[in-house]
Amino acid sequence: MAHPIEVYQCANCKFPQCKDICPTDALAVDGPPWRATLSAQECFACGQCARLISPDAPHHCTGIHVSEDHLKRVTEWIKQRRDLAVIIGPGLESCSDWVDLSRISTAWRRLGAIVVIRAIDLAGHVRTEIVREVKVRLKKGEPFVIDSRCGAIRNLVENFYPKLSSHLIKTDSTLFAAARKARSLAPEGCRVLFLGPCTAYKRVVDEATSAPVDAVLTWSEFETICARQGITLSKLPQSEFDDIGMQCREAPIAGDVASELRGVNITTEVCGEYTPAQMVSYFDAIHLRELPQEPSGFISPFLCGDCYRGPGIYAAWRSCRKEDAFSWIRKTIPAYLPADGELDVVYERLNNLEEAQGSMRYPALCKEFIADLANTITVAPVVSQVAGALLSVLLL
């Protein structure tokens, strides 16, 4: 099985954006002329470097690639007309004002899906189960437990700090819980695949001895499949997701379990805003017992902060039709009536700031991003005006 991240065709890069991005030094960059090499042993597939490969990034990186291993698997199943069960990840779910998920459901049904469910529907159930597990384990005397819903964190702990593995939560992640549900609804022999923002779960699935998921696709890989199959999402009719009798509208995030543990006298450490490098240092410190105090209670680390911020999401933002972004801006600020061309300026600025931050967070959902926008943009008055209005709406 191929490692999820590969480096090739990297040469003479003028701006090696990858240079300082890897939190574990798995990516070594020599030059100039710049050339990167990857050590698969040191890489925990966090996907930070995969954020550089957006086709229209200012200095488009040609060297980093998401392995096509899982894409090839799924392509083969489609060719063989295998029954598929598809789990739609939280990436676009949180932005459903922009993208019509029901058309994605239609696309998968055309590609052979018997079952199409949303992972997010299981999030509430999984949260409840994790809360229960945390209480039981701490009561039995275990000093601390670590949330393991984030695939990158799971890879990091299992590969770099195996002694800490026993502290990982054992309850199924939201993805695995959804996969078991999808499998139970589908005929035997059905292939189960996850479509989401996460490159890390490709490795989790390949390394697990009995993963309920057979392949993990990023949104950009899904777009590739649609293009190859001649499917134009915007032209498809809508179709329903399978109803699994559960509903939750919140994507898994760092701190969501911690908030449920408040009031029951359990210490929680939420690492939602840690950079990848800070996260690695934090685990180094736990491992080497260098923290001022031994950790206790519940540790809640998510490498991307929220599940909809994963590296495989960029295509969704990129492919998000300008009209969709415009309609979001109009909806958010109903009083804002743009003059011709003004929305183009806003849209480009949002995109450029995303690139500058090296993070493909959804601007519409990210308060700090909007705050930055309001503070930093002085070029076009209309942008400041819109950013200010966005900020006041989001901070309500």
Q: Which residues bind ligand SF4 (CB under 6 A)?
A: 5, 7, 10, 13, 16-18, 21-22, 24, 26-27, 29, 34, 36, 38, 43-49, 52, 61-64
To ligand SF4, the closest distance from the beta carbon of 33 in angstroms equals 9
For ligand SF4, the closer of residues 33 and 381 by Cβ is 33
**Neighbouring C-beta atoms of residue 128, cutoff 10 Å:** 14
To ligand SF4, the closest distance from the beta carbon of 62 in angstroms equals 5
Burial (0-12, 13-18, 19+ Cβ within 10 Å), 377: buried
To ligand SF4, the closest distance from the beta carbon of 141 in angstroms equals 34
Rounded CA gap, 149 and 156, in Å? Answer: 12
Rounded CA gap, 313 and 310, in Å? Answer: 6
Cβ-proximal residues to 253 (8 Å cutoff; 6+ apart), any chain: 272, 302, 305, 306, 307
In Å, what is the CA distance from 56 to each residue of 213, 315, 354?
31, 10, 12
For ligand SF4, the closer of residues 10 and 123 by Cβ is 10
For ligand SF4, the closer of residues 32 and 162 by Cβ is 32
Q: Write the Ramachandran bin of 230: left for phi over 0, alpha for psi from -120 to 50, otherwise beta.
A: left
Q: What residue has token string 């939201």?
A: 174
To ligand SF4, the closest distance from the beta carbon of 275 in angstroms equals 12
For ligand SF4, the closer of residues 121 and 158 by Cβ is 158
Structure tokens of 235?
Answer: 């032209």
**Residues 100, 236: contact at Cβ < 8 Å?**
no
Rounded CA gap, 381 and 221, in Å? Answer: 38
To ligand SF4, the closest distance from the beta carbon of 1 in angstroms equals 16
For ligand SF4, the closer of residues 27 and 257 by Cβ is 27
**Residues 241, 116: contact at Cβ < 8 Å?**
yes
For ligand SF4, the closer of residues 15 and 392 by Cβ is 15
To ligand SF4, the closest distance from the beta carbon of 67 in angstroms equals 11
To ligand SF4, the closest distance from the beta carbon of 10 in angstroms equals 3
Burial (0-12, 13-18, 19+ Cβ within 10 Å), 2: middle
From 114, 165, 152, 179, select the one nearest 4 (Cα to Cα).
152
For ligand SF4, the closer of residues 7 and 325 by Cβ is 7
To ligand SF4, the closest distance from the beta carbon of 93 in angstroms equals 24
For ligand SF4, the closer of residues 77 and 314 by Cβ is 314
Cβ-proximal residues to 348 (8 Å cutoff; 6+ apart), any chain: none
To ligand SF4, the closest distance from the beta carbon of 327 in angstroms equals 34
For ligand SF4, the closer of residues 20 and 240 by Cβ is 20
Query: Hey, CA dihedral for 146, 288, 153, 40, is it positive or negative?
Result: negative
